[in-house]
Structure formats: C-alpha cells, structure tokens
Structure 1
Amino acid sequence: MANDTNKVTANAHWALFLLAVIYVMSYIDRLIISVLIEPIKLEFAASDTMMGLLTGVAFAIFYTAFGLPLGRLSDRIGRKAVIAGACIIWSIFTMFSGIVGSFMMLVLLRIGVAIGEAGASAPSVAMISELYPARLRGRALAIFGLGPSLGAVLGIGFGGILAELYGWRATFIIVGAPGVLIGLILIFTVKSPKRSASATPGIPEQGMIRTALTLIKIPSLWNIVAAGGAAAITGYAIQMWTPSFMIRSHQMSIQEAGLLMGIGGGGLAILGTLVCGYVTDKMSTKDSGWQLGTALVGTMISIPFAITFYLWPAGTAFTIGSLSVPTGFLFYMGFAFFGVWWTVPCFSAMTRILPADKLAQGTSLFFMSVTLFGAGLGPVFSGVVSDLLYSAIGAEALRYALVVTTALLLVPCFFLLSGIPKYRKQLLGNKPATPVTPVAHNSKPAIS
C-alpha cells in the first residue's frame, strides 16, 4: 500500500537516497560507453552503425524483454530484493566489459547489463510511491530522477578523465565495482514499506501479457508511455553521440568533451530536474493537467536550444582556465536544463493513475518504451543517418544527423498535448482509475 499517511520516516529518506544512488549507478554504467565509443571503435574497427547497435539495439531489446517480468516479480515478492539483485548483476557485467577480447563479447556483456538494469527502475518508482504521500511524491521522484543527470556527470564527465588516464578497459572495471556494494547496503539497511495485501478491485489477477494489455488501455497511460518512448529517441542519441560530435566537429579530446558534457550539461540537467519536480508539484495542485503540461513546456523549449547548438559553427570559443569551450555549448546548457522535463512529471503521473498492486508492472511499460525506442532506436538512428551523410559531407555528417534527431522531439510534444485532457478527466473522476492509495484528510501533516 502506498504511503499516504502524513508521517514520512527516516527509513523512507534513507531508502530514497539509496534508490537514487542505484539509479545514478545504472546510468553511469549505461552512459560510460558514450565517451568510450572512439577508442572501442578504433580497437575493434567498428563503424558508426555497429557502435549504434552496441550502445542501442543490443541493450534495448533485452532490457525490454526482461522489464515486464521483473516488474511483475517485484509486485509479487517485494521491491527491495529485485532492485538490489539487479544492481549487483549489472555492475558485475559492467566490470567484465573491461576484459573482453572481441566486439561480439562486448555486445554480450552489454546485454547482461541491460537485463540487470531492467529490474531496477520501475520497481524503484513503485517503492518510492509506497514510501511517500502523493503531495510529496513529485519532489521525491525528482530526487530519484536525478539518476540520468548525475549519471551523465559521473559517467560522461569523469569517465572521460578515467579513459584518458587508464584506458577504456580499466574505466569499465572502475565504474562497475561500486554497484555491488550499494546493492548489498540496500539489502541489509532498508526496511521494505508495507504494501496492500489484496489485489486492486476492478482489475482481477491476470497473466503478465493480459495485465500489460489491460493497463495500456488506460487512456492517459498510453499517452505517457508513447511520449516517453518518443522523447527518449532524441535523449539517448544526444547522450551517446554528442561527445563524438564535439571530438569530430570541435576538435576536442575525449577528456574535454566528457568534462563539458558531463559536468556542464549534466550539472544543468540536475538543476532542471529539481526545478521541474518543484514546479510540477506546485502547478498540479492548481490544475492536474499541469502534471503533463510541465513536461510539454520543457520539451518544447528544449528543441531550439539543441538545434542551435549543433548548427553553431566551429572555431568560435571562450576559455575557462585551460579549457577552450565552443560558444555554441551555451545553447547545449539550455537544452540540458529543459530537455529533462519530460521525465519526472511522467513518473509522478503514473503513480496517480496506476493500481497499487500493478504499479511496478505499469511503470515498467514506460521504462520499456523509453529503452526500446530510446536506447534501441536513438543511437542507431543517428549512427545510420551519419553514415548515409558521410559520403556527401564527410566529418560534419554527425552534426546534421543530430539536428535531424533533435527535430523528432516534436513527436512526444504531440503525445503530451493530446494526453493532458485525458489525464485531467481521469483524475477528476469522469473516467476513474483505481488510485494508488486513498488520501488521509483528517490528520495534520508532519512535514511539508
């Protein structure tokens, strides 16, 4: 049962901290390969399309295949064990990626990382919804939602430094090791929240596929899942290919590109995530439609920032210490701030419309869509477009491939816009869905 009592315990805050750390670790292990593309490509003589398949399709297919079964498992046996086990598994596979002898072996190990990560994200969102009341859930999920941004700072930013100092193989080993320890700490120090003992009325116990089909028929959930998948196509492509774009078009080193992307862009993404969580909680108290409206506004604003960044000519720069920063990177920082605004509102919206005993399964549909279309299509789409353009424009092909990919953000804007009235209507009760939990009206809030 979700925690809509008014007391939030120290255990809840500690659990949120560890879940956020695990989410960060998942993105470090997922994104670290973006700053390692060039040395891996050189060692194994791989094309951009092959690297897109490695960073995208190979990961996405298996993440998607295991996402719903592991979400269902966590709904049945509890969130904590599934999350901790998943973290330990993917961390071990990340470490093993540093000792591969062939490109195909690296593909297989990235598949192992994908299977492990499939068991963490959706159960974590479900667990947080059980630990925090609805009025605080947006901010709690914003802290959890820092995972991609902090993962970019550490995985891309400091990953570039590690790659320069120790090489790509040692980098995999170094970033994978902490996840094993964090998984064990979760197991032994966090008390699982109390959950509803009975199935949610109105949705009888069903098989896994039938449950998924039942949930996806919730009108606003369909829009949220579709918007997440469409937005992730651009998001993953930008995360994976922008370091290479900066190396190729702005003649930066791996370390310089990683520092700018990770610390500069990642830092603004962290701030954007926190601001988005606060704005979403405040605006949705006035009109429930703003739960998705903030995602729409942020995504729309982000598009011109990204396109301007990729089209900005090389050769204009300013210096920060000894680092030469392309002037166009200022526009990337604007994109980094607003480009994450589709995540937290979607997380929070799902916790309000999904049944309690199907929450991890429902949320896993969102993460499956994000990973299948984002990780699966985003990097390989940009890689294929880059390869197709290379014969005509040479080294600048990746620049224009990323412009085309950025324009695809208009698609999630359409899904969010059309989903707002459905979501508002559902919460107002005209098309009721079983809430995660009833709200207590007669007790005084313990915190605000």
Structure 2
Amino acid sequence: MNIAHRNAVNDSDTSPSRVYAWYVVLALMLCQVLASIDSRLPFIMVESIKQDLGLSDTQIGLITGPAFSLTYAICAIPIARLSDRGNRVAIISIAIAVWSMFTAMAGFTKGFGTFALTRIGVAAGESALTPAAHSIVANYLQGPARAKGLAVYSVGVAIGAFAAFALGGYIGDRFGWRTAFLCVGGGGMVLVMLLLTTVREPAREPQSEAKSLPRGNVRSLFQNPMIRNIVFGGTLLGCSAGALNAWGPAYVMRTFNLSATETGASFGVVAGIVAMVGILSGGFISSWLTERDPRYALQMLGGAFTIAMVTQIAALLSSNYTLFLVLLAVTVLLSSFYLGPTFAAIQSAVDPSARSFASAVTLFCINGVGIASGSFVVGLLSDLMVIWGENSLKWALISVSWLKAWSAFHYWRASRSMKP
C-alpha cells in the first residue's frame, strides 16, 4: 500500500470534521508565511545587498524578478503534475526543507552569481507549495467556503511580508543581511514535522464525467474564456503589484531618507497587515457574492483594481510620507482582494484531477510572467532613467501602475463568460 493511499481520508473513512478541515487550512497558511518571508527577505535589504555585493539596479531586478519568479513558475508545472497524482503533504514537506536550506546558503554568497543561484533554489522549492496546497484546500472545503479557505491560506503571504520587512529590516540593520538569511533559513524543519505528524492527505474527488471541464493540459485551460481572462488579468496585476512589492522599500529609503528598520516598521505594516486584511476581505466578500451570483465576485475585482491604479499613481506622486502610506494602504488593500476569488474560480472551473496543474499554470503566468517582468522592467527603467536622478525609480514604478486598469478589464470579461 503506498503512502498516498494509506494517509488519504477516503470514502470509507469518517469524513474529516469542519474543525479539522480549517486546522489543515491554518497549517498550510503557516507554510505560506514561511515561504513569503523567504521570498521577500531581499526586498527590505536591497540597499545593503547592493552595496556589499556591488550590484546594479538591473542585477537586483534580475534576482528579485526572473531569477526567482520565473524559476518558481517553471518548476511549479511539473511538480504540480506530481501533486495531482502523489502525496501532496509529503511533497510540501520536502519542498520546505529544500527552500529553507537555500535561504540559509544565501548568507554565505560572495557575488551576483552565487546569490542568484540561492534565490533560484528557494524559488524551485517554494514552487511546490501553492499548487498542492490549493488542491488540498479544495478537497477539504466545498462551495462558497472554498474562496474563504483559499483566502485564509493566502493571508500567509501578507503575514510573511510583514515579518520579512519588519524583522528582516531590524536584524539586517543590527547584525547584517547575511545573519537575517541564516536565521530565517533555520526555521523550516519545525513546519516539516508539524505537517508530517498532524496533516492527513485528503481523498481526491473522482474525475468528472463532464468532458467540457478543462483537464491537465494548457490548451484545454485556455480554451475556457473565463479561465483565459482570469489568467491574463492576474498576470497584468502581478506585473504592477510585484514591481511595487519588490521596489517599494528601496523607493521609500531613497525618496524619504529612511533606514531599513524605519522602512520595515512603516512600509512593512502596509505591505503586511493591510494586505492581510485585503486578502481576507476579498475571500469573504467573494464567498458572500458568489452565493448570489458567481459573476459578482469577479466584477468586484475589476472595480477594486481600477481604484487601486489611481491610488498607486497618487501615492508615488506624493512628497509627504504620511499621505504616501495612506494611499499605498488603499492600493495594497484593493490589490490583495484577488487571491481568494481568483483561485477559487479556477479550482471550481477545472476537473478535480487537474486542480494542482491549473493552479501551477496560473502561478506560472502571474509569477513567472507578471511579477518577474514587473520587477525586472522597473529595475531596468530605473537604470535607463538615471538622468532624472533619484526620481528615476519613481517614474519607473508609475510606468507599470496603469496595468491594473488593463487587469480590471480582463476580470470583467471573465465575469461575462460565467453563467449566472
């Protein structure tokens, strides 16, 4: 008997309680917290890493963009195929051990090449988490509760971002950026033991008889107009929001002359706590709207992203730090709505046998194309606009802000493809 069958909660077993189902969601959320810390830790220490390793903005953009996000996206698809067939809890546990090891190794790097290699290793490990976690949550929670569960899981992104900015900035200022990577890299094994001892592999739903449902190939996914528009919209949002996440701390330090600790304590609150509220709000509002009409949740996102574009541009044009933070908070709040509704719609639209794969393809587009290109393009534009001095980064960030409106258009189109 293989481990996947032995650990699964199958039809002959007692169905897992609602309380246990939400415990699993919370355990997976903790895994997302660690992944978010590890992926965002370089953002708050861009200036220190840049000076110590002698890097340019373009090289920083490559490391925080394509080196990480594109690797994450490419590796997610083959690992997701394995998750659709194997033990997802075991796959996640191995992945945590791998990415934690590479995080710690970053503390020993000596230049651009070795630091980039450690980020590639972290990305490869983290790529296994979300597709498998989405599939597990979809098995434990049904109907409108699915968007809530995916939102609670996704809130780990915001908690981790806050911890990375606040604690990372504090540790980096006092003990150096290398110490911060070593400290964070050592925490993964605790979560590995928690997963292996308390989380049961859920039974998979049988394959649907409906041949119209997208299955485990890219062509069938993109033939579905709703999925196609959601993926395009998410990719554009990822480009705009990813650039702001990657370069926001550096922009604050350059524009408002704050230290890494001060930036982490203020920008980190916005990027972490406000995003947390946004992710949860998006999930719960989406569940409420979905009970009335599934189209309303996607239409809500279209409106939210349009407003977020306006507030993002206004924040970047502000010379007052308090006003900047207020406008940024609105931007982050509304942009964070997308996680629960986006992936709940994807999970509900595909065949149960292809849920990990569908999440991986979506992540490939949002992370590998969107976030990776946004971070890199802003770094490149910042170097090209150096004749504008310190304002080069500001105008580079403004140049990708308008993509949020384009994203809103695709989410609206996606809603028009759904049945009421």
Q: Give the TM-score band, short-chain normalised.
A: over 0.9
RMSD: 2.2
Provide the rounded CA distance (Å) in 1 between the counterparts of 2:284 and 2:18. 21
Q: Is contact 1:36-1:163 (8 Å) kept? A: yes
Matched, 1:298 2:304: yes
Match of 1:245 among 240, 248, 251: 251
* CA deviations over 1:370-419 (Å, ceiling 9, x no partner): 1112332011111111111111x101111111111111212211211111
Distance 1:61 1:345, change over 3 A: same
SS in 1 for 2:258: coil
Q: Is contact 2:283-2:339 (8 Å) kept? A: no
| TM-superposed deviation, 1:51 | 0.4
| TM-superposed deviation, 1:135 | 2.6
Match of 2:290 among 277, 284, 293: 284
Match of 1:350 among 342, 346, 352: 346
Provide the rounded CA distance (Å) in 1 between the counterparts of 2:71 and 2:369. 12
- Which aligned pairs between 1:162-241 and structure 2 lie closer than 5 A? 162-196=171-205, 198-202=206-210, 211-241=217-247
SS in 2 for 1:134: coil
| TM-superposed deviation, 1:310 | 0.6
TM-score (norm 2): 0.93
Q: 1:441 maps to what in 2?
A: none
Q: 1:96 maps to what in 2?
A: 105
| TM-superposed deviation, 1:178 | 1.5
| TM-superposed deviation, 1:269 | 1.2
Matched, 1:136 2:142: no
| TM-superposed deviation, 1:183 | 2.0
Q: 2:132 maps to what in 1?
A: 123
* CA deviations over 1:202-257 (Å, ceiling 9, x no partner): 559x997xx22222322211111111111111111111101111111111111111
Q: Is contact 1:145-1:344 (8 Å) kept? A: yes
| TM-superposed deviation, 1:134 | 1.2
* Identical amino acids, percent of aligned pairs: 26
Provide the rounded CA distance (Å) in 1 between the counterparts of 2:297 and 2:88. 25
TM-score (norm 1): 0.87
Q: 2:4 maps to what in 1?
A: none
How many residue pairs get aligned? The number is 410
Provide the rounded CA distance (Å) in 2 between the counterparts of 1:187 and 1:297. 41
Match of 1:374 among 370, 380, 385: 370
Q: Is contact 2:235-2:371 (8 Å) kept? A: no
Provide the rounded CA distance (Å) in 2 between the counterparts of 1:90 and 1:285. 38
Provide the rounded CA distance (Å) in 2 between the counterparts of 1:333 and 1:296. 18
Of Structure 1 and Structure 2, the greater helix share is in 2
Q: Is contact 2:70-2:364 (8 Å) kept? A: no
SS in 2 for 1:171: helix
SS in 2 for 1:76: coil
Greater shift, 44-53 or 79-88, is seen at: 79-88
Q: 1:435 maps to what in 2?
A: none
Distance 1:343 1:207, change over 3 A: closer
Match of 1:265 among 268, 271, 275: 271
Provide the rounded CA distance (Å) in 2 between the counterparts of 1:287 and 1:363. 23
Distance 1:332 1:312, change over 3 A: same
Quick one: which amino acid aligns to residue 254 of structure 2? R
Distance 1:199 1:91, change over 3 A: same
Q: Is contact 1:44-1:103 (8 Å) kept? A: yes
Gapped runs of 5+ residues in structure 1? 317-324, 429-448
